[in-house]
Structure 1
Amino acid sequence: MSALDVLRRVFGYDEFRGSQQEIIEHVIGGGDALVLMPTGAGKSLCYQIPALVRPGTAVVISPLIALMQNQVDALRELGVRAGFINSTLDPDERRVVEAEFAAGELDLLYLAPERLAGQGTLRMLERGRIALFAIDEAHCVSQWGHDFRPDYLGLSMLHERWPDVPRIALTATATTATHQEIATRLGLTEARHFVSSFDRPNIQYRIVAKQDPRRQLLEFLRGEHRGEAGIVYCLSRNSVEKIAEFLKDNGIPALPYHAGLDDRIRAGNQSRFLREDGLVMVATIAFGMGIDKPDVRFVAHLDLPKSIEGYYQETGRAGRDGEPSVAWLAYGLQDVVQQRKMIDTSEGDAAHRRNLSQHLDAMLALCETVECRRARLLAYFGQELGKSCDNCDTCLAPPESWDGTIAAQKLLSTVYRLHRERNQKFGAGQCIDILLGKKTDKVVQWHHDELTVFGVGADLREAEWRAVIRQLLAQGLLAVEGDYGTLVLTDGSAEVLGRRRPVMLRREPERPVSVAKTAKTARQREAAELPAEVAPVFEHLRAWRAATAKEQGVPAYVIFHDATLRQIAAERPESLEALATVSGVGESKLAKFGSQILSALAEVS
């Protein structure tokens, strides 16, 4: 059976997307491949189809233990013989899967990378016939990366032990440096490299100045995403718990997820998020890699991500179905202070801290840019957009750029005088009070109202001064140190104070980009786009799908995606032959659900 036959008969699609066919045929022919492809572009088909064409079993290395069950369930719904071995199986269950593999009764076998460190797993693999090795989330091999997994460093031995078995490594995020590191560490320098565009045009990128982040988040969810699935990322476990409770108290169904939760609670929350509609997952970055839920309508960050790679990976979990989605980030001065402090106190040598600083600098540049955010994001991955995207906040409501040289000199002079004249160091709050001429108890206590800079900054509001400090930190013209985040000058400060360097700053729009007043949820947009006579049919099919998914204990999207149901509702096929022509209806699903769908359609005819 050819690759195209498999695509049509098993997966129910008529044609490949992008570079899928080229990659698939290369691997079927026995070639090694390194694939960089954005989330939602169909990476999994690049190894699943070769697995069904080549003789033997494809062994898929994946760090996503909690998701293997869902991935296997989805494949089994398609009639694919799939299994997994990880720490969630008891010894009897593991022996059954091992026997199936040895007997050639599996098309795909998913393994956690740490399993390959044991001789027992290697001996088991030698008893069967291996079609290919697929190394998913390949960026986990990067020691400088945001998702580093030490067990990935040993995966180069696969080629040494099975030199004739093709390998395909896949990731949705990699800079040029990470790309090269993956190739080197996995022994794929001679492999064929396939690099797709990183652009996700359906995702709208928005970064707002952090004021009252809980209120801002609540307004965002209520105004634009009521009843929709999404992910809210927080930096700490404590924040995750508090934000989840806050959302629940305000009528938004939310679940917490972090590494400190009991394993059963964490797995249960993830399972609910995947299976139920309209849930919001509040999580640390421990959650999400490889999440295959197609209808995540938003990803919100309440804390600044540590790198653009991490931000891109996390925001990429929105809109896998290609429908409009939003990546929303609330970002403020304290985020910069906190991240700088974490870098200064991090373990590792100077080179490690320098690398962390470079990652943070790039993230800050994305937050502070007055240019198209998507263009800046793609440029980080070595891709040129060539135009404005018209789907990010800076394109939809362009911010002003203003000459902040004098404001910067006033702020830096305040830090200088505190340090040089008083031998003191203070944080942002005290410096701003001095500039605004506020005679607070602390200002009076330290006689800071006697400084020559007292009151010289009354031309700006407190929020504007916080933005000035934030941007000076981002540009390296100011720094923080110590446990209390005190402000100190840098080498660049002298250039500004000496009038040798101008400082251009970003002024936030008076009204941040928001479509809350006119926004419709994805369900409302779908209903509006469907003809009046089709909408009730679509909703009836969704209800049938929800009941079927609940009965089988799988996520609704494993039965059919919304796009497939919309096409069925619009075309109203009256026979199994007609239903088979719908995109996403393969042979297995036609056999399992075809008669049920025709009956459901008859009920609303």
Structure 2
Amino acid sequence: MDSPSPDITLPPNAVTDPHEVLHRLFGLSAFRGQQEAVVSHVIAGGDAIVLMPTGGGKSLCYQLPALCRGGVGIVVSPLIALMRDQVAALRQLGVAAAAMNSSLTGPERAQVRADLRAGRLKLLYAAPERLLMPDFLEMLDGVKIALFAIDEAHCVSQWGHDFRPEYLELAQLAARFPGVPRIALTATADPQTREDIAHRLALDEARLFLSSFDRPNIRYAVLRKEAPMRQLLTFLRAHEGESGIVYCLSRNTVEQTAAALNEHGIKALPYHARLPPEVRSANQDAFLTTEEGLVLVATVAFGMGVDKPDVRFVAHLDLPASLEAFYQETGRAGRDGLPAETLLLYGMQDLVMRRGMIEQSGAPAQVKQIERTKLDALLGVCETVTCRRQAILAHFGETLAQPCGNCDNCLTPAETWDGTVAAQKALSAVVRTRQRFGVGHLTDLLLGVKTEKIERFEHDKLPTFGVGTELDRKGWGSVFRQLIVRGALEVDHDNYGALCLTEAGEVILRGRESVRLRQETASGSARTLLKKKAGRLEVAAQDQALFEALRAERTRLAKEQNLPAYVIFHDATLAAIAAARPGGEADLAQIPGMGASKIERYGAMILGVVAAEEGR
């Protein structure tokens, strides 16, 4: 890795106005959402926990305070690829940034250490295990530190979907570096995980910045798995020439799916943990850096912290482990704010496999129960007949007042049936068993199955015993999950997943509200939905030639520097240039994303391309 440029934009120990840095460095005229409040709080020395959706500008919340405070900002990041992209993007802006990780050679690591000790760095990225090495901590003891930023902070929680034990040790930073502000950031954390982040990172007194989790540019579609390869091909053919990710549960499925897609003329590469490291790295680099319109077929070993802004779709061929995992993985689409589509295919076999993985794990009973509950929350979203986005956001404690109009249930309403009587039977079973049992036992009760547990509690003597034979076990599972999603039932996390009646459930049980439930059969319009693709970046016809000329020049520059094209310019910036047709550097400074360093590096090139197109 190259050492940072000595031509650093900001002096290492200068406290600078954040608005000036935002405009001069990042080329932005205003903050978004809670960014300004977070930045001001951390610059003033406050600790913070920031929950902000993917693509919502989390990185600016720690990069900008690090640039405005004296010293170097230390960023904890879990993946080398993410470090590399962020460091490259910062250097394009003229910021002295570096990463310390296993991909560096000995001389490169020595250079980073020398730059750190000499005060030549403004941001240093490191994995948690490297940061916590005794020699690394000792090195930091003699350095002026602006802040510690803990990215992907949900990794600290054992209830989270990406738990990493090494994150637990980061709490020691508070005692070792008193007075240095710490900021923990994540895009996906339910209330329980948020509490875990605060407690385990010793951030109990930190200010919480909770942004909306909504990603309105992403369309959600969930379909019953029928002929998965045919369904996937239909979906991908609507995305020809676009980059996207297909997630599979197993390595074998990854290999088979990638091979099948290539046979059907769709360029795809596999990615999973068992590939030779050089192949895995090459495939990831091809997707992130060198090839456009590539499909990466992957297990969840790929993706956390992926900073590629132009992923246009994410498809799941198998059920994710939880709603948090689903939201994190689909959130890798549309980071640039432009429309993106997601597709989840699921079947009962997925459910059996996922539950088997939970039961066969060596986790404690309490952890297993939490994992079951999280899986059930995802299944509830799969089976809901209402707006999927409303159901997803409700899981994260957020209320969306109106249906989104951008999910399959809003675009093609699902087939439903009058489930009022079935719902009343299910709710009655909960009440008559004193709200102490989970779905499995309640289903046995309704089906009239005399299990040892049924007989031990004498539940075969209850009026609800055997009153639900009109549905099978799968049908009752769907009823219970849909009642949980609509808020008629709650899961008691402290009582092994027992179901409890809510006020909304009481209304249904007393016959004061009817209930319509989703049919198990797939909608007849499913194939049509798979072919739908939202509009992308709007470029006027008269600007299209200039836009493509700018893209071609960006591609050339990216190849020269061995960088992803989006690190140099996002498509949205090129579209704005094509529309504005700037005549000088003063005009370029008004384009979003055109900071001082970008203008200095590429201004003459851009103006030349514009002039050449104007002269045609």
Place the TM-score, normalised by the shorter chain, in its bin.
0.7 to 0.9
Q: Could you say which residue in structure 2 is the equivalent of 1:93? A: 108
State which of 205, 220, 224 in structure 1 corresponds to 2:220: 205
State which of 25, 37, 41 in structure 2 corresponds to 1:10: 25
CA distance in 2, matches of 1:344, 1:292: 34
Query: What is the letter of the counterpart of residue 313 of structure 1?
Result: Q
Q: Which runs of 5+ in 2 are unaligned?
A: 1-15, 427-442, 452-468, 485-496, 500-508
Q: Could you say which residue in structure 1 is the equivalent of 2:440? A: none
Shifted more, 505-514 versus 35-44: the winner is 505-514
CA distance in 2, matches of 1:327, 1:603: 39
Q: Could you say which residue in structure 1 is the equivalent of 2:609? A: 600
Secondary structure in structure 2 of the residue aligned to 1:340? helix
Closer/same/farther in 2, CA of residues 587 and 473 from structure 1, 3 Å limit: same
Does the aligned pair in 1 maintain the 2:231–2:530 contact within 8 Å? Answer: no
Counterpart check, 1:130 vs 2:138: no
Q: Could you say which residue in structure 2 is the equivalent of 1:585? A: 594
Does the aligned pair in 2 maintain the 1:333–1:470 contact within 8 Å? Answer: no
State which of 131, 135, 139 in structure 2 corresponds to 1:120: 135
- TM alignment of 1:33-432, pairs within 5 A: 33-222=48-237, 224-275=238-289, 276-403=291-418
- Shift in Å at residue 343 of structure 1? 2.0
Q: Could you say which residue in structure 1 is the equivalent of 2:518? A: 506
Does the aligned pair in 2 maintain the 1:336–1:470 contact within 8 Å? Answer: no
CA distance in 2, matches of 1:554, 1:329: 32
Does the aligned pair in 2 maintain the 1:468–1:505 contact within 8 Å? Answer: no
Query: What is the letter of the counterpart of residue 312 of structure 1?
Result: Y
CA distance in 1, matches of 2:32, 2:318: 35
CA distance in 2, matches of 1:3, 1:503: 52
Secondary structure in structure 2 of the residue aligned to 1:106? coil
Secondary structure in structure 2 of the residue aligned to 1:567? helix
Does the aligned pair in 1 maintain the 2:243–2:311 contact within 8 Å? Answer: yes
Closer/same/farther in 2, CA of residues 465 and 231 from structure 1, 3 Å limit: farther
- Shift in Å at residue 516 of structure 1? 5.4
Q: Could you say which residue in structure 1 is the equivalent of 2:581? A: 572
Per-residue CA distance 1:294-327 (angstroms, 9 max, x = gap): 1111110011111111111111111011111112
CA distance in 2, matches of 1:151, 1:519: 41
CA distance in 1, matches of 2:476, 2:246: 27
Per-residue CA distance 1:418-466 (angstroms, 9 max, x = gap): 999xxxxxxxxxxxxxxxxxxxxxxxxxxxxxxxxxxx99xxxxxx999
Counterpart check, 1:21 vs 2:36: yes
Closer/same/farther in 2, CA of residues 18 and 542 from structure 1, 3 Å limit: same
Per-residue CA distance 1:444-494 (angstroms, 9 max, x = gap): xxxxxxxxxxxx99xxxxxx99974873695799xxxxxxxxxxxx999xx
Count of residue pairs the alignment pairs up:
537
CA distance in 2, matches of 1:264, 1:291: 19
TM-score by length of 2: 0.82
CA distance in 2, matches of 1:43, 1:472: 38
Per-residue CA distance 1:400-433 (angstroms, 9 max, x = gap): 3214679x99xx99x979999xxxxxxxxxxxxx
CA distance in 2, matches of 1:500, 1:232: 45
CA distance in 2, matches of 1:303, 1:382: 26
Q: Could you say which residue in structure 2 is the equivalent of 1:548? A: 557
- Shift in Å at residue 251 of structure 1? 1.1
Closer/same/farther in 2, CA of residues 34 and 491 from structure 1, 3 Å limit: closer
Secondary structure in structure 1 of the residue aligned to 2:25? helix
Query: What is the letter of the counterpart of residue 260 of structure 1?
Result: R
- Shift in Å at residue 393 of structure 1? 0.8
Q: Could you say which residue in structure 2 is the equivalent of 1:559? A: 568
Shifted more, 317-326 versus 333-342: the winner is 333-342
CA distance in 2, matches of 1:603, 1:2: 38
CA distance in 2, matches of 1:208, 1:185: 38
Query: What is the letter of the counterpart of residue 588 of structure 1?
Result: S
Secondary structure in structure 2 of the residue aligned to 1:389? coil
CA distance in 1, matches of 2:300, 2:339: 23
Per-residue CA distance 1:551-603 (angstroms, 9 max, x = gap): 11000011111111001001111112211211100011100100011111122
- Shift in Å at residue 354 of structure 1? 1.0
Secondary structure in structure 2 of the residue aligned to 1:11? coil
- TM alignment of 1:436-585, pairs within 5 A: 468=475, 471=478, 505-507=517-519, 508-512=522-526, 514-515=528-529, 519=533, 525-526=536-537, 529-585=538-594
Does the aligned pair in 2 maintain the 1:333–1:466 contact within 8 Å? Answer: no
Does the aligned pair in 1 maintain the 2:129–2:166 contact within 8 Å? Answer: yes
Secondary structure in structure 2 of the residue aligned to 1:299? strand
Query: What is the letter of the counterpart of residue 25 of structure 1?
Result: S
Query: What is the letter of the counterpart of residue 362 of structure 1?
Result: A
Query: What is the letter of the counterpart of residue 66 of structure 1?
Result: A
CA distance in 2, matches of 1:168, 1:193: 10
Closer/same/farther in 2, CA of residues 306 and 518 from structure 1, 3 Å limit: closer
Closer/same/farther in 2, CA of residues 332 and 500 from structure 1, 3 Å limit: farther
Query: What is the letter of the counterpart of residue 279 of structure 2?
Result: I
Identity %: 54
CA distance in 2, matches of 1:42, 1:389: 22
Query: What is the letter of the counterpart of residue 298 of structure 1?
Result: F
Secondary structure in structure 1 of the residue aligned to 2:541? coil
Does the aligned pair in 2 maintain the 1:12–1:584 contact within 8 Å? Answer: yes
Cα RMSD of the aligned pairs, angstroms, is 2.8
Per-residue CA distance 1:331-364 (angstroms, 9 max, x = gap): 1121112122222222123212211111111111
CA distance in 2, matches of 1:28, 1:513: 51
Does the aligned pair in 2 maintain the 1:256–1:283 contact within 8 Å? Answer: yes
Shifted more, 185-194 versus 502-511: the winner is 502-511
Per-residue CA distance 1:65-123 (angstroms, 9 max, x = gap): 23211211111011010001111112221111011001000010001000133211111
CA distance in 1, matches of 2:138, 2:193: 32
- Shift in Å at residue 262 of structure 1? 1.5
- Shift in Å at residue 373 of structure 1? 0.4
TM-score by length of 1: 0.84
Does the aligned pair in 2 maintain the 1:52–1:107 contact within 8 Å? Answer: yes
Closer/same/farther in 2, CA of residues 473 and 602 from structure 1, 3 Å limit: same
Does the aligned pair in 2 maintain the 1:257–1:282 contact within 8 Å? Answer: yes
Does the aligned pair in 2 maintain the 1:7–1:14 contact within 8 Å? Answer: yes
CA distance in 2, matches of 1:123, 1:474: 52
Does the aligned pair in 2 maintain the 1:336–1:474 contact within 8 Å? Answer: no
CA distance in 2, matches of 1:568, 1:603: 14
Query: What is the letter of the counterpart of residue 270 of structure 1?
Result: Q
Does the aligned pair in 2 maintain the 1:396–1:513 contact within 8 Å? Answer: no
- Shift in Å at residue 397 of structure 1? 1.4
Closer/same/farther in 2, CA of residues 267 and 576 from structure 1, 3 Å limit: same
CA distance in 2, matches of 1:325, 1:603: 33
Closer/same/farther in 2, CA of residues 396 and 465 from structure 1, 3 Å limit: farther
CA distance in 2, matches of 1:503, 1:259: 45
CA distance in 1, matches of 2:578, 2:179: 47
Does the aligned pair in 2 maintain the 1:156–1:187 contact within 8 Å? Answer: yes
Does the aligned pair in 1 maintain the 2:231–2:527 contact within 8 Å? Answer: no
Secondary structure in structure 1 of the residue aligned to 2:397? coil
